[in-house]
């Protein structure tokens, strides 16, 4: 069986290639280049822009060293235009709306399991393999489910929730039953010096580490504005642009003269206001339901969509018990009467049935007691602000009456 491995130049995909070769597959490695810093104006916030060798080129050289060491062919393909059109434009559009997208999910959906997958099929490969910490399992009904890997600390099914079910069935996850220390040990034992101790990649998918605010400023102009205490309506500081903050954020608010800590609780993108609350006043961070749209179901049929299951509203979150009310084939109302903090528009809700990842979609609207939470936040703050303004208007009258009485 001919298998192509998406080779990133890191230890995970390298060991995936090793394991497949040992298992007798006819293995080809393929390195994807998806970002060009100069062509894409990635200047501000880029710590490596002046380096002689850019990080992506170094990753390619590391992948080449591994492929040569294993005596495997290495192909190189460019998906720079596809990444810009399908991943990065969506990423920017969501931030412009004040939402918080997940670029890793977009990257898997449009690049690794679309552009790269289709390239592999056209090249005549039978299956695609990746270094993701995930697994898949074909059951008696012939359907292949996406399932969790052994290493729960590195588990990545959350990021694979938008992969089409037909492609899950044609993918091999060689690292499914291994944990990270075992993978590094395998690389060390085979003297894969270029990757054995290499730091795990972080930052934006295929772009890397960036000063995020500076990076975004290359594409979206920043505009400073008021930070408002949602519980008093009082302006307590200034922000550098509402686009740069996410719900639940605590660090980087620079609220020095008011006792905290403070959390971001909401945004008014039109008026450029950032709403915050104190630790002991976080009621408006909690919601009890949300609408999720654009769901990719990894199930044999839509009839198997459950009414109860678990869900992650962000990557590192523990599974949350939820109820599902189906709105249409790709949209649901998710209910969680226990209430959950920081469920955020633009992020992904990913559904699980035990070890099976059964799909995921984008959080479009968040509610509390049947009311849009962000609208409730703005009304609460504006109500307090209105009281403050009204008091300031009548204060001179009150003072003059007091003087008159005396």
284: Cα separation from own chain's centroid: 23
Q: Is the Cα torsion angle 252, 257, 261, 266 positive or negative in sign?
A: negative
Residues 295 and 89: their CA atoms lie apart, in Å, by 20
Q: What angle do CA 331, 285, 334 make, to 5 degrees?
A: 20
**Upper half-sphere CA count for residue 387 (Cβ side, 13 Å):** 10
**E strand map for 124-179:** 127-129, 134-138, 144-148, 171-172
Residues 175 and 187: their CA atoms lie apart, in Å, by 13
User: CB within 8 A of 355, min separation 6: which ones?
Assistant: 147, 148
Residues 395 and 263: their CA atoms lie apart, in Å, by 32
User: CB within 8 A of 253, min separation 6: which ones?
Assistant: 227, 237, 239, 245, 260, 262, 264, 276
The two three-digit tokens of residue 14, written as one number: 């390298």
**E strand map for 246-307:** 262-268, 273-278, 286-297
Catalytic residues: 107, 205
- 213: burial class by Cβ within 10 Å (0-12, 13-18, 19+)? middle
59: Cα separation from own chain's centroid: 22
| Closest to 295 (Cα-Cα) out of 180, 163, 393, 199 | 163
The two three-digit tokens of residue 289, written as one number: 């339901």
Pairing of strands 144-148, 356-368: antiparallel
Cα-based distances in Å from 271 to 149, 238, 274, 275, 367: 44, 13, 9, 11, 21
Task: Determine phi and psi for 227, rounding to 5 degrees.
Answer: -105, 120
Contact 100, 246 (CB under 8 A): yes
User: CB within 8 A of 395, min separation 6: which ones?
Assistant: none
Pairing of strands 348-353, 356-368: antiparallel
């Amino acid at each position: 069986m001919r298998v192509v491995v998406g080779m990133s130049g890191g230890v995970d995909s390298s060991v995936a290639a090793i394991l497949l070769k040992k298992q007798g597959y006819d293995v080809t490695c393929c390195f994807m280049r998806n970002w060009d810093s100069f062509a894409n104006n990635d200047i501000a916030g880029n710590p490596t822009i002046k380096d002689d060798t850019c990080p992506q080129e170094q990753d390619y050289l590391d992948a080449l060293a591994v492929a040569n060491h294993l005596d495997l062919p290495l192909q190189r393909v460019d998906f720079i235009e596809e990444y810009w059109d399908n991943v990065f434009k969506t990423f920017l559009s969501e931030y412009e709306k004040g939402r918080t997208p997940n670029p890793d999910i977009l990257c898997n959906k449009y690049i690794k399991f679309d552009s790269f997958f289709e390239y592999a099929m056209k090249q005549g490969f039978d299956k695609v393999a990746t270094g993701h910490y995930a697994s898949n399992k074909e059951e008696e009904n012939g359907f292949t489910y996406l399932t969790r890997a052994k290493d729960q600390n590195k588990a990545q099914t959350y990021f694979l929730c938008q992969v089409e079910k037909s492609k899950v069935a044609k993918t091999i996850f060689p690292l499914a039953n291994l944990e990270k220390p075992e993978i590094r040990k395998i690389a060390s034992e085979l003297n894969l010096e270029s990757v054995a101790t290499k730091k795990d990649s972080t930052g934006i998918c295929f772009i890397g580490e960036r000063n995020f605010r500076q990076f975004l400023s290359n594409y979206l102009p920043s505009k400073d504005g008021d930070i408002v205490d949602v519980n008093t309506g009082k302006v307590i500081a200034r922000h550098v642009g509402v686009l740069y903050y996410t719900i639940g954020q605590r660090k980087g608010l620079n609220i020095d003269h008011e006792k905290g800590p403070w959390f971001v609780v909401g945004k008014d993108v039109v008026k450029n206001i950032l709403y915050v609350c104190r630790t002991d006043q976080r009621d408006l961070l909690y919601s009890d339901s949300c609408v999720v749209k654009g769901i990719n179901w990894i199930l044999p049929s839509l009839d198997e969509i459950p009414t109860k299951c678990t869900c992650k509203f962000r990557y590192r979150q523990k599974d949350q018990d939820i109820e599902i009310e189906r709105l249409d084939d790709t949209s649901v109302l998710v209910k969680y009467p226990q209430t959950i903090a920081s469920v955020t528009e633009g992020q992904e809700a990913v559904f699980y049935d035990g070890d099976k990842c059964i799909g995921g979609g984008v959080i479009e609207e968040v509610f509390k007691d049947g009311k849009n939470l962000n609208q409730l936040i703005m009304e609460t703050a504006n109500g307090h602000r209105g009281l403050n303004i009204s008091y300031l208007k009548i204060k001179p009258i009150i003072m003059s009456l007091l003087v008159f009485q005396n």
